[in-house]
Structure 1
Amino acid sequence: MPTGFSSAPAPLRLSLDTAALEHNWRWLAQMSGRATCGAAIKANGYGLGAAEVMGHLSQAGCRDFFVATWAEARALLPLADGLSLSVLHGIRNEDLAEALTSPARPVLSTPDQIARWRNANGGPCDVMVDTGMNRLGLDWRSDVAQATGGLNIITLMSHLACADDDNPLSAIQQRRFAAIAQQVPAERYSLSNSAGICLGSDYHFGVTRPGLALYGGVPRPNAAGHIRQVVTPQAQVLQRRTVQAGDTVGYNATFTATRDMAAAILNIGYADGYLRGFSGRGMVLAGDRPLPVLGRVSMDLLIVDASLAPDISEGDWLSIDYDLPRAAAASGLSQYELLTGLGQRFDRIWT
């Protein structure tokens, strides 16, 4: 009997477009004007693979990267030589020893974090100011200059709450941050995410921090037509079967066939991030032929109407329609959720 097996490819994969990723960063860099364009690669590069994203974007010219936690930073340090890496969640007591010796910088966001860094004689850091989102950051109404006095601040930053719509809070946050930037010395200042970049030069300051748009998300209407799709989930057909008129399909029998039809069963489900919001609403592509999702998405399986694809059989690969704005509209999920929810069972293949 055989004693070992070679690693077989998974029955589902993400086809990841390197050229599209680099194109999106270059377009965002152009839109950032005089500001340096960085990249948010937290949550494992929004689900694509942070190390691979950092490698591709650094080759394209990106030098500033942002992650959420020290574990994320630690995994990227072998690739970070000559690059700037900031840890957005700052420093807990548990992180301090690592942060003091790491080339990554903490983004300090509370008086306690600032005191912790000062007392440990910490070096260069970044600082987050809350200008109206009431999430992380020093309160804009406080004396930020006094609170941060003596720190070697590389980047003073804030975060826009509503840049993806036309809420007047964005302009209010911009004015608040501009006023604080006049009072707090730092090497550079940063306010804009992907959507903020699209709001115009008043929002760019010195560094922009795009995330969603790098990976194919369209943050505002003026980005449509410029941002290219990066991620295409693909799954193998496990079975082709005939569904007779009157038969039901899937859990809870939410779909009933009105005619004899062909169905293909795919190796993907909500455990992989293709969530139940796509039930009866999603689309799979056989080349350019659309195959509608039938019934409910299962944990590990998906059933699609294969009547228009008589050539599709067991073992064939089909692509999930994952144009992010369109998939978000179909599923009721945000473009961010569609990206970051992609599971670990995919082979991630860069082309």
Structure 2
Amino acid sequence: MDVRLPIGVGVTAPVSPLRLDFDSAALVANWRWFAAASGRAVCGAAIKADGYGLGARAVRDRLAAAGCRDFFVATWDEAVALGPLADGLSLSVLHGLRDEDVPRALAGPARPVLNSAQMVARWKASGARRACDVMIDTGMNRLGLTPEEARSGLLDGLDIDTLLSHLACADEPGHPMNEQQLFTFRSVKAAVPARRYSLANSAGVCLGQRYAFGLTRPGLGLYGGVPAPGADGQLHPVVRPHAQAIQIRIVPQGATVGYGATFTAAAATRVAILNLGYADGYLRAFGEGRGRALIDGLACPVLGRVSMDLVAIDITEAPAVAEGDWIEIDYDLSSASAATGLSQYELLTSLGRRYQRCWI
């Protein structure tokens, strides 16, 4: 049970009845694991979606202090929100270059990742005299130039820092598409000169160093997710949600809890009502006992449905819990994904803005 919030460096007494504790040491340890697994390749970090919900600036600063130099965001809004780019750091904008992005792309050091012939033409027409990145579609059919476009001469005259692609099935080590994409990327690499080449995301790093090339781009695994079987037991949880108990009540035998009356107490049950719900990213999939809180190592199941702002947990076996106490929510990404059917990415990025975020 987490009755009182410890106050220390980077942590202040909470105003919100919700908080997220982020473990700086775990984040850095996870990045170092990927750096070691990347072999000779440089290990970067995907910090898009506001650092997968943790706060992109805070993640960047901690990983930069640990030695990370290459960062990736999705959009120019995300790039601008990061503020100035410190000397020695590299930032790439994965979604490329729309017409309205050109002024911001020219104003700062972040590199656009060019994904289409139109983007290539736009970058050339902008008069930019510095490097860009280029995405090649090796089979995912999402963003990127086709291999034929890449080899056609379209890229002639560009100063390409990083030529990259993205794996579709890296979380399934035996999937034949992994080898197909690797073969295709190698063929384009032989034809298109660039300073660096990059194919592997978190799961791609787990496929082995043949996929690493010169630069890897872990994302999910940095934040405690398990991207592929090769990372089982190797990564540390980074995110720990907590909620305050608003009320403690006894639900009589035969009474029900929550919308739809889906839970009926088989015996008198001591229940804590927590200030937490699907508006905070604790989604309805956690209801009906699939979610749980952790109190002094005891797993306390969710009772009934998750509401917009409230959830009930069974604290019959935790008699010391009182109104106002802080209670940790079990949010191990791999096991929560298995229990709810939600992806680990959804679990991370759906956590709402009502939490106070505390780095410890």
TM-score scaled by structure 2? 0.94
Shift of residue 138, structure 1, vs aligned partner:
0.3
Task: Write the letter of the residue equivalent to 1:333.
Answer: L
- Within the candidate set 204, 207, 217, 1:209 is matched to 217
Deviation at 1:80, TM superposition (A): 3.6
Q: Cα distance 1:211–1:8, how it changes in 2: closer, same or farther (>3 A)?
A: closer
2:114 is matched with 108
2:285 maps to: 277
**1:339–1:134 distance in 2 versus 1, CA, 3 Å:** same
Within 5 Å, give how 1:330-341 maps onto structure 2. 330-341=339-350
CA offset digits 1:266-285 (Å, max 9, x no partner): 01111111101101110111
Residues 1:250 and 2:293 are matched in the alignment: no
1:164 corresponds to: 171
- CA offsets, 1:38-91, max 9 Å, x none? 000000000011000001000010000000000100011335443100000001
> Which residue of 2 is the match for residue 95 of structure 1?
101
Pairing 1:239–2:247 present = yes
1:68-217 to 2 correspondences below 5 Å: 68-122=74-128, 123-144=130-151, 146-165=153-172, 166-217=174-225
The alpha-carbon distance between structure 1 residues 115 and 79, as it changes in their structure 2 partners (threshold 3 A), is closer
Q: Are the aligned partners of 2:92 and 2:112 in contact in 1 as well (CA < 8 Å)?
A: yes
User: In structure 1, the residue corresponding to 2:134 is in which secondary structure?
Assistant: strand
Q: Distance in 1 between matches of 2:302 and 2:25?
A: 30
1:167, distance to aligned residue in structure 2 (A): 1.4
SS of 2:153's partner is helix
Identity of aligned residues (%): 60
Residue pair 2:198, 2:217 contacting (<8 A) in 1 also: yes
Q: Secondary structure of 2:312's match?
A: strand
Q: Say yes or no: does 1:27 pair with 2:37.
A: no
Contact 2:14 2:356 in 1 (8 A): no
Q: Distance in 2 between matches of 1:108 and 1:139?
A: 12
Structure 1 runs (4+) deviating above 4 angstroms are none
Secondary structure of 1:205's counterpart equals coil
Deviation, structure 1 residue 139? 1.1
Which residue matches 1:303? 312
Q: What's the Cα RMSD here?
A: 1.2
Letter in 2 for 1:240: I
Q: Which of 34, 40, 45 pairs up with 2:51?
A: 45
Q: 1:143 to 1:53 in 2, by over 3 A?
A: closer
TM-score, with length taken from structure 1: 0.97
CA distance in 2, matches of 1:141, 1:265: 59
In 2, are the aligned partners of 1:51 and 1:79 still within 8 Å (CA)? no
Please state how far the C-alpha of 1:7 moved relative to its aligned partner: 9.2
Unpaired runs of 5+ residues, structure 1, are 1-5
- CA distance in structure 1 between the partners assigned to 2:312 and 2:252 by the alignment: 15
Match of 1:3 in 2: none
Q: Determine the C-alpha separation between the residues in 2 that align with 1:103 and 1:197.
A: 27
Q: Deviations over 1:110-141 (max 9, x none)?
A: 00000000011122100000000000000124
**Do the aligned partners of 1:245 and 1:261 also contact (CA within 8 Å) in 2?**
yes
Q: Deviations over 1:16-59 (max 9, x none)?
A: 10000000000000000000000000000000110000010000
**Residues 1:14 and 2:20 are matched in the alignment:** yes
Q: Rate the CA distance shift 1:43–1:326 in 2: closer, same or farther, 3 A.
A: same
Shift of 1:225: 1.2
Distance in 2 separating the partners of 1:30 and 1:321: 29
Question: Is the CA contact (8 Å cut-off) linking 2:136 and 2:150 kept in structure 1?
Answer: no
Residues 138, 144 of structure 1: 8 Å contact kept = no
Contact 1:145–1:184 (CA<8 Å) still a contact in 2? no
> 3-state DSSP class of the match of 2:103?
helix
**Runs (5+) with no aligned partner, structure 2:** 1-11
SS in 1 for 2:82: helix
